[in-house]
Chain A
Amino acid sequence: MIYSLLIQSSPDNLSISASALAFAKALLQRNHSIYRVFFYSEGVLLATSAAIPPQDEPDIYADWREFIGKHKLDAVVCIAAAIKRGILNSTESERYQKSAGVLANAYDLSGLGQLIDATIHSDKLITFG
Protein backbone atom coordinates (compact mmCIF):
# COMPACT_ATOMS: atom_id res chain seq x y z
CA MET A 1 0.00 0.00 0.00
CA ILE A 2 1.01 3.60 -0.51
CA TYR A 3 1.19 5.65 2.67
CA SER A 4 1.78 9.27 3.53
CA LEU A 5 2.50 10.61 6.99
CA LEU A 6 1.41 13.89 8.54
CA ILE A 7 3.74 14.86 11.42
CA GLN A 8 2.46 17.64 13.66
CA SER A 9 4.02 17.19 17.07
CA SER A 10 7.11 19.04 18.22
CA PRO A 11 10.36 17.03 18.36
CA ASP A 12 10.29 17.95 22.06
CA ASN A 13 7.52 15.37 22.26
CA LEU A 14 10.07 12.67 21.63
CA SER A 15 7.71 9.72 21.95
CA ILE A 16 5.53 10.90 19.06
CA SER A 17 8.42 11.84 16.75
CA ALA A 18 10.09 8.50 17.49
CA SER A 19 6.82 6.55 17.04
CA ALA A 20 6.29 8.17 13.67
CA LEU A 21 9.82 7.25 12.60
CA ALA A 22 9.44 3.67 13.84
CA PHE A 23 6.13 3.40 11.96
CA ALA A 24 7.74 4.73 8.76
CA LYS A 25 10.60 2.24 9.05
CA ALA A 26 8.14 -0.60 9.63
CA LEU A 27 6.19 0.37 6.51
CA LEU A 28 9.27 0.08 4.30
CA GLN A 29 10.35 -3.17 5.96
CA ARG A 30 6.97 -4.63 5.03
CA ASN A 31 7.33 -3.45 1.42
CA HIS A 32 4.82 -0.64 1.61
CA SER A 33 5.82 2.62 0.02
CA ILE A 34 5.81 6.15 1.40
CA TYR A 35 4.58 8.77 -1.04
CA ARG A 36 5.34 11.75 1.16
CA VAL A 37 6.06 12.81 4.73
CA PHE A 38 4.43 16.17 5.39
CA PHE A 39 5.60 18.23 8.37
CA TYR A 40 3.05 20.67 9.72
CA SER A 41 2.31 22.68 12.85
CA GLU A 42 5.07 22.18 15.46
CA GLY A 43 6.26 19.18 13.47
CA VAL A 44 8.16 21.60 11.21
CA LEU A 45 10.70 22.03 14.01
CA LEU A 46 12.04 18.56 13.21
CA ALA A 47 13.47 19.96 9.97
CA THR A 48 15.99 22.27 11.59
CA SER A 49 19.66 21.49 11.09
CA ALA A 50 20.58 23.70 14.04
CA ALA A 51 19.19 21.79 17.05
CA ILE A 52 21.67 20.42 19.59
CA PRO A 53 19.95 17.72 21.65
CA PRO A 54 21.44 16.89 25.08
CA GLN A 55 24.10 14.19 24.90
CA ASP A 56 22.08 11.74 26.97
CA GLU A 57 19.05 11.97 24.67
CA PRO A 58 18.59 10.41 21.24
CA ASP A 59 19.11 12.80 18.32
CA ILE A 60 15.67 12.51 16.72
CA TYR A 61 16.60 15.26 14.25
CA ALA A 62 19.54 13.25 12.91
CA ASP A 63 17.53 10.01 12.95
CA TRP A 64 14.83 11.53 10.74
CA ARG A 65 17.37 13.18 8.41
CA GLU A 66 19.23 9.91 7.91
CA PHE A 67 16.04 7.94 7.29
CA ILE A 68 14.78 10.45 4.71
CA GLY A 69 18.17 10.59 2.99
CA LYS A 70 18.69 6.84 2.97
CA HIS A 71 15.34 6.13 1.33
CA LYS A 72 15.21 9.35 -0.73
CA LEU A 73 11.77 10.15 0.68
CA ASP A 74 9.78 13.19 -0.33
CA ALA A 75 9.90 15.17 2.92
CA VAL A 76 7.88 18.37 2.64
CA VAL A 77 7.75 21.06 5.31
CA CYS A 78 4.78 23.43 5.20
CA ILE A 79 6.28 26.80 4.35
CA ALA A 80 3.70 28.89 6.24
CA ALA A 81 4.05 26.80 9.41
CA ALA A 82 7.85 26.76 9.04
CA ILE A 83 8.73 30.38 8.47
CA LYS A 84 6.61 31.57 11.39
CA ARG A 85 8.69 29.25 13.59
CA GLY A 86 12.05 30.33 12.14
CA ILE A 87 12.60 27.28 9.94
CA LEU A 88 13.92 29.01 6.82
CA ASN A 89 15.95 27.72 3.92
CA SER A 90 18.62 29.93 2.37
CA THR A 91 16.16 31.39 -0.17
CA GLU A 92 13.69 32.41 2.53
CA SER A 93 16.39 33.73 4.85
CA GLU A 94 17.57 36.04 2.07
CA ARG A 95 14.02 37.04 1.20
CA TYR A 96 13.25 38.03 4.81
CA GLN A 97 16.79 39.28 5.52
CA LYS A 98 17.50 36.84 8.33
CA SER A 99 20.99 35.75 9.26
CA ALA A 100 20.77 32.10 8.31
CA GLY A 101 18.70 29.36 6.76
CA VAL A 102 18.45 26.35 9.08
CA LEU A 103 16.36 23.90 7.03
CA ALA A 104 18.24 20.60 6.74
CA ASN A 105 19.04 19.40 3.20
CA ALA A 106 16.74 16.39 3.52
CA TYR A 107 13.64 18.61 3.48
CA ASP A 108 11.83 20.89 1.02
CA LEU A 109 9.64 23.86 1.88
CA SER A 110 6.31 23.90 0.06
CA GLY A 111 2.63 24.67 0.51
CA LEU A 112 -0.41 22.91 1.96
CA GLY A 113 -1.32 21.78 -1.53
CA GLN A 114 1.36 19.11 -1.09
CA LEU A 115 -0.59 17.69 1.85
CA ILE A 116 -3.81 17.53 -0.17
CA ASP A 117 -1.86 16.01 -3.08
CA ALA A 118 -0.58 13.36 -0.67
CA THR A 119 -4.13 12.44 0.36
CA ILE A 120 -5.00 11.94 -3.30
CA HIS A 121 -1.98 9.80 -4.20
CA SER A 122 -1.86 7.64 -1.06
CA ASP A 123 -4.06 4.79 0.05
CA LYS A 124 -3.72 5.96 3.62
CA LEU A 125 -2.62 9.13 5.35
CA ILE A 126 -1.55 8.63 8.96
CA THR A 127 -1.50 11.61 11.34
CA PHE A 128 1.02 11.75 14.19
CA GLY A 129 0.59 14.31 16.96
Chain B
Amino acid sequence: MGNQHLLFVFRSSPYGSSRAREGLDALLAAAVFDQRVSALFMGDGVFQLCSEQCPIDRRNQHKMLLSLELYDVDQLYFSSSALASRDIAPTDIRLPGTALSDAEITNLLTTADQVLTF
Protein backbone atom coordinates (compact mmCIF):
# COMPACT_ATOMS: atom_id res chain seq x y z
CA MET B 1 0.00 0.00 0.00
CA GLY B 2 1.24 3.48 -0.81
CA ASN B 3 2.24 5.89 1.89
CA GLN B 4 -0.06 8.82 1.31
CA HIS B 5 -0.92 11.78 3.49
CA LEU B 6 -4.41 11.38 4.98
CA LEU B 7 -5.88 14.37 6.77
CA PHE B 8 -8.63 13.58 9.27
CA VAL B 9 -10.78 16.61 10.00
CA PHE B 10 -12.72 16.58 13.27
CA ARG B 11 -15.63 19.00 13.35
CA SER B 12 -17.93 17.36 15.90
CA SER B 13 -18.15 17.90 19.65
CA PRO B 14 -16.88 14.87 21.61
CA TYR B 15 -20.13 13.51 23.02
CA GLY B 16 -23.10 14.96 21.08
CA SER B 17 -22.90 12.03 18.67
CA SER B 18 -20.63 9.07 18.10
CA ARG B 19 -18.91 10.89 15.24
CA ALA B 20 -15.81 11.99 17.20
CA ARG B 21 -15.20 8.50 18.53
CA GLU B 22 -15.81 6.79 15.20
CA GLY B 23 -13.59 9.29 13.42
CA LEU B 24 -10.80 8.52 15.83
CA ASP B 25 -11.30 4.79 15.18
CA ALA B 26 -10.90 5.46 11.46
CA LEU B 27 -7.75 7.52 12.09
CA LEU B 28 -6.23 4.71 14.15
CA ALA B 29 -7.05 2.23 11.39
CA ALA B 30 -5.18 4.45 8.92
CA ALA B 31 -2.19 4.65 11.27
CA VAL B 32 -2.18 0.85 11.62
CA PHE B 33 -2.20 0.56 7.81
CA ASP B 34 1.00 2.59 7.71
CA GLN B 35 -0.38 5.75 6.15
CA ARG B 36 0.92 9.23 6.92
CA VAL B 37 -1.82 10.57 9.14
CA SER B 38 -2.57 14.05 10.50
CA ALA B 39 -5.60 15.42 12.29
CA LEU B 40 -7.17 18.86 12.12
CA PHE B 41 -9.62 20.03 14.76
CA MET B 42 -11.96 22.80 13.72
CA GLY B 43 -15.50 23.99 14.47
CA ASP B 44 -17.00 22.21 17.47
CA GLY B 45 -14.28 19.59 17.04
CA VAL B 46 -11.99 21.78 19.17
CA PHE B 47 -14.09 20.81 22.21
CA GLN B 48 -12.45 17.38 21.90
CA LEU B 49 -9.17 19.05 22.86
CA CYS B 50 -10.32 20.33 26.25
CA SER B 51 -8.40 18.50 28.95
CA GLU B 52 -11.13 18.77 31.59
CA GLN B 53 -13.66 16.25 30.28
CA CYS B 54 -15.83 14.13 32.56
CA PRO B 55 -18.02 12.05 30.24
CA ILE B 56 -20.68 9.85 31.80
CA ASP B 57 -20.50 6.22 30.68
CA ARG B 58 -18.37 7.13 27.67
CA ARG B 59 -14.68 6.90 27.01
CA ASN B 60 -12.81 10.15 27.56
CA GLN B 61 -12.06 11.53 24.10
CA HIS B 62 -9.21 13.72 25.31
CA LYS B 63 -7.48 10.76 26.93
CA MET B 64 -7.87 8.80 23.71
CA LEU B 65 -6.31 11.67 21.78
CA LEU B 66 -3.38 11.67 24.22
CA SER B 67 -2.76 8.06 23.19
CA LEU B 68 -2.18 9.12 19.58
CA GLU B 69 1.50 9.62 20.36
CA LEU B 70 1.79 5.84 20.53
CA TYR B 71 0.55 5.53 16.98
CA ASP B 72 3.05 7.59 15.06
CA VAL B 73 0.45 10.16 14.03
CA ASP B 74 2.24 12.78 12.00
CA GLN B 75 0.82 16.02 13.28
CA LEU B 76 -2.15 17.53 15.11
CA TYR B 77 -3.54 20.89 14.02
CA PHE B 78 -6.02 23.18 15.73
CA SER B 79 -8.06 25.97 14.22
CA SER B 80 -7.14 29.24 15.96
CA SER B 81 -10.41 30.89 15.00
CA ALA B 82 -12.48 27.95 16.30
CA LEU B 83 -10.60 28.07 19.60
CA ALA B 84 -11.01 31.84 19.89
CA SER B 85 -14.72 31.87 19.09
CA ARG B 86 -15.31 29.19 21.76
CA ASP B 87 -13.14 30.99 24.31
CA ILE B 88 -10.64 28.15 24.60
CA ALA B 89 -7.11 29.42 25.25
CA PRO B 90 -4.43 27.62 23.22
CA THR B 91 -2.49 27.26 26.48
CA ASP B 92 -5.35 25.09 27.85
CA ILE B 93 -4.60 22.41 25.28
CA ARG B 94 -2.34 19.69 26.61
CA LEU B 95 -1.95 17.90 23.30
CA PRO B 96 1.17 18.50 21.20
CA GLY B 97 0.06 20.31 18.07
CA THR B 98 0.05 23.45 16.00
CA ALA B 99 -2.57 26.20 15.93
CA LEU B 100 -3.36 27.31 12.37
CA SER B 101 -4.99 30.39 10.90
CA ASP B 102 -7.86 29.95 8.44
CA ALA B 103 -5.49 30.62 5.53
CA GLU B 104 -3.07 27.99 6.79
CA ILE B 105 -5.98 25.53 7.09
CA THR B 106 -6.91 26.16 3.46
CA ASN B 107 -3.34 25.39 2.50
CA LEU B 108 -3.28 22.21 4.61
CA LEU B 109 -6.51 20.95 3.02
CA THR B 110 -5.09 21.39 -0.47
CA THR B 111 -1.80 19.63 0.28
CA ALA B 112 -3.30 16.43 1.78
CA ASP B 113 -3.77 13.48 -0.60
CA GLN B 114 -7.17 12.68 0.90
CA VAL B 115 -9.39 14.44 3.43
CA LEU B 116 -11.81 12.53 5.66
CA THR B 117 -14.26 14.57 7.71
CA PHE B 118 -15.91 13.48 10.95
B-contacting residues of A (Cβ < 8 Å)? 6, 8, 40-42, 80-81, 111-113, 115-117, 119-120, 122, 124-125, 127
Residues in B lying within 8 Å of A, measured CB to CB: 1-2, 4, 6, 17-19, 22, 25-26, 29-30, 33, 35, 113-118
How far apart are the CA atoms of A42 and B116 in the complex, in Å?
16
Residues of B near A117 (CB, < 8 A) are 1, 33
4 further contact pairs, Cβ within 8 A, besides A116-B33, A125-B115, A127-B115: A8-B19, A8-B118, A115-B26, A116-B29
By the criterion CB–CB under 8 Å, are A112 and B26 in contact?
yes
Taking CB atoms, residues of chain B closer than 8 Å to A111 are 29
User: How far, in whole Å, are A33 and B36 apart by their CA atoms in the complex?
Assistant: 25
Could you tell me the distance in whole angstroms from the C-beta of B41 to the nearest C-beta in chain A? 16
Q: Closest CB of chain A to B34's CB: distance in Å?
A: 9
The 10 sampled A-B contact pairs (Cβ below 8 Å) are A8-B19, A42-B18, A111-B29, A115-B29, A116-B26, A116-B29, A117-B33, A122-B114, A125-B114, A127-B117
**B116 & A127 in contact (Cβ 8 Å cutoff):** yes
Report how far A127 CA is from B4 CA in the complex, Å.
Answer: 18
A112 to B18, CA, bound (A): 16
Chain B at the A interface: SS class: mixed
Whether A116 pairs with B35 at a CB distance below 8 angstroms is yes
In the complex, what distance in Å separates the CA atom of A119 from the CA atom of B26? 12
Identify the closest chain A residue to B34 (Cβ).
A116
Chain B residues lying within 8 Å of A8, measured Cβ to Cβ, are: 19, 22, 118
Q: Which residues from B are CB-within-8-Å of A112?
A: 25-26, 29
Contact (Cβ within 8 A) A113 B33: yes
Q: Which residue of B2, B22, B116 contacts A120 across the interface (Cβ within 8 Å)?
A: B2
A41 adjacent to B22 (CB under 8 Å) = yes
Q: Contacts A113-B33, A119-B4 given: A40-B115 contact, CB under 8 Å?
A: no
* Complex CA distance for A7 and B33, rounded to whole angstroms: 21
